[in-house]
Structure 1
Amino acid sequence: MTRLSVNINKIATIRNARGGNMPDVEKAARDCEDFGAQGITVHPRPDERHIRYSDVREIRPAVKTEFNIEGNPIPSFIDLVCEVVPDQVTLVPDAHDAITSNSGWDTLANRDFLTDVCKLFRSKGIRTSIFVDPDPAMVEGAAACGADRVELYTAAYAEEYPLGPEKAVAPYLAAARKAKEIGLGLNAGHDLNLENLEFYIRTIPWTDEVSIGHAIICDALYMGLEKTIQAYLSKIDIF
């Protein structure tokens, strides 16, 4: 069964826009779990425009399912991960000024660096996932770096889905098959939503986890957080 990890960054964005502690990010994480989410994802960035490093420290003890920290493994991020010891760390090559993640790693060109990072996190007992574009060569490269999983960057799938689901998912299926062939776990994330999620999971049912944040918070404005999480779970619990 594919697991749903809710990215709560956007909840922190709303809080930060006004100051104070409304909405309460830690409570939101607990509520998401109570509503059925099987994991919580945070993506702290150096400018702390949404999730702050202090949030990560505060949220960690509250999460009872799976805690996933995403981010670019700069020294401060590495130190944070080693301090709080999440269940999973997802390595994302986002620039400090990126609005959102916009590409996967070149796991061949960055092999030495990623190998060192994976080795460090593995020594702490942390499962490591590398964010990659849907390219079998990048998937193989992630395995060579010592990653436990890859997370396929699904923005292109989401963009192309309305024009033809089969064509949109084809490169992801090829990359996912390569991951399965070489024994890598498989995650997916970015721009997955209630419209395109079920088709993706039906096509690649061995996906271990999807990480979804922006769409969930947008839908929750109209449906409420509990009903929204249940709706997303219904799209992945289909077998």
Structure 2
Amino acid sequence: MTKGLSYLRLGVNIDHVATIRNARGGRHPDPLRAAHLAVEAGADGITAHLREDRRHISDADIARLKSELTRPLNLEMAATPEMVAIALRHVPNACCLVPERREERTTEGGLDVVGQKAMLAPVIADLKAAGIRVSLFIEPDPRAIEASAELAADIVELHTGAYCEYAAADDARGMAAEAARLAQGASEAAARGLEVHAGHGLTFNTVAALARMPEVVELNIGHFLIGEAIFGGLPAAVRRMRSLMDEARHAAASRVLA
């Protein structure tokens, strides 16, 4: 598939390469090396989440990624003064604002955009003034989508965690209902002028449904790919994910044209 209007971008999150490194200390494995391998295998961008507790990605990682990457860097971050200052210092291509609790293992849900509009507004304005695209990680909820548009975000990233949990439980009815909710959210967000991304928990077995949604232009996938890399290497995992995305996108486009 050529990179045209129907092309679906793949962002690879390399956080958990740093998790493995930090378990023992030192420099190995290197998240920057993982980023380069992912790009060579077909990734269109790299995502890294600089958490407040620095449990995986470090400040030095962000500096190296911004300096040496050949593809856009998407910095996931909490909407705090410390993180805004770091983003303004490094100026990544995009910042995805996410909820963050120190006790959570991973991001557990979407940002409370409706309840935190007053706090988010100046953060978004400061980032956009620096030329950084702003993404909000949200549930596919109409109120959250409306609030994201009112805040003048550039992008919403729809949280796919619930869909993937239904898939893991072999709950076909739940999967169908959540896929429909994601599709409706993607349609509503695009209608409001928001660029639509999606991610969280996606695997080889769950990516096709999202790839078939025409409004979704980017998928961000990390933990699963790093896990698969243990068994077959990161380039192979990225290439397979890229292939599955392209196949699903092509099939969806063919049905539209038929």
TM (norm. structure 1) is 0.96
Q: 1:180 aligns with which of 174, 190, 209?
A: 190
Q: Which moved more, 1:179-188 or 1:93-102?
A: 93-102
Instruction: Indicate the larger mover: 188-197 or 217-226.
Output: 217-226
What is aligned with 2:17?
Answer: 11
Structure 1 residue runs of 4 or more that deviate by more than 6 Å after TM superposition: none
2:189 alignment partner AA: A
Q: Secondary structure at the match of 1:191?
A: coil
Name the counterpart of 1:163. Answer: 171
Distance 1:103 1:235 in 2: 26
How far apart are residue 179 of structure 1 and its match? Answer: 0.5
The root-mean-square deviation of aligned C-alpha atoms, in Å, is: 1.1
Of residues 30, 34, 41, the one that matches 1:28 is 34
- State whether residues 112 and 145 of structure 1, in contact with CA within 8 Å, keep that contact through their aligned partners in structure 2: no
Instruction: Find the partner of 2:241 among 215, 232, 237.
Output: 232
1:194 to 185, 204, 216: 204
Residue type matched to 1:199 in 2?
A: A
Match of 1:139 among 142, 145, 148: 145
Distance 2:61 2:110 in 1: 25
Deviation at residue 97 of structure 1 after TM alignment: 2.8
Counterparts of 1:86 and 1:30, CA distance in 2: 16
Give CA-to-partner distance per residue, 1:181-233, whole Å, 9 cap, x none. 1110001111011000012211x122111111100011111121111000010
Equivalent AA in structure 2 for residue 49 of structure 1? R
For residues 205 and 229 of structure 1, what CA distance do their matches in structure 2 show? 21
1:46 Cα deviation from its structure 2 partner: 1.7
> Gapped runs of 5+ residues in structure 2?
1-6, 251-258
Structure 1 contact 94–103 (Cα < 8 Å) conserved: no
Answering whether residue 65 of structure 2 is matched by residue 56 of structure 1, we say no
Tell me if the contact between 2:187 and 2:215 (Cα under 8 Å) persists in the aligned partners.
no
CA distance in 1, matches of 2:63, 2:210: 33
Shift of 1:69: 0.3
Offset of 1:96 from its aligned partner?
2.6
Shift of 1:54: 1.6
Matched, 1:76 2:82: yes
Alignment partner, residue 3 of structure 2 = none
Q: Distance in 2 between matches of 1:141 and 1:47?
A: 28
Asked whether the equivalents of residues 2 and 206 of structure 1 are also in contact (C-alpha less than 8 Å), the reply is: no
Structure-2 separation of matches of 1:200 and 1:166? 12
Q: Secondary structure at the match of 1:70?
A: strand
Superposed displacement of residue 167, structure 1:
2.0
User: How far does the alpha carbon of each residue in 1:87-108 deviate from its partner, in whole angstroms, 9 at most, with x for none?
Assistant: 1100001113321101112212
Across the two proteins, how many residue pairs are aligned to each other? Answer: 238
Unaligned segments of structure 1, at least 5 residues: none
| Secondary structure, counterpart of 1:237 in structure 2 | helix
The letter of the residue matching 1:8 is I
Cα deviation 1:92-140 (Å, max 9, x = unaligned) = 0111332110111221211111111111111011110001011021111
Letter in 1 for 2:179: V
Query: Do the aligned residues in 2 keep the contact of 1:107 with 1:138 (CA within 8 Å)?
Result: yes
* 2:137 aligned counterpart, secondary structure: strand
TM-score by length of 2: 0.89
The answer to whether the 8 Å contact 1:9/1:213 transfers is yes
Tell me the amino acid that sits aligned with residue 196 of structure 2.
L
- Of the candidates 206, 220, 231, which is equivalent to residue 211 of structure 1? 220
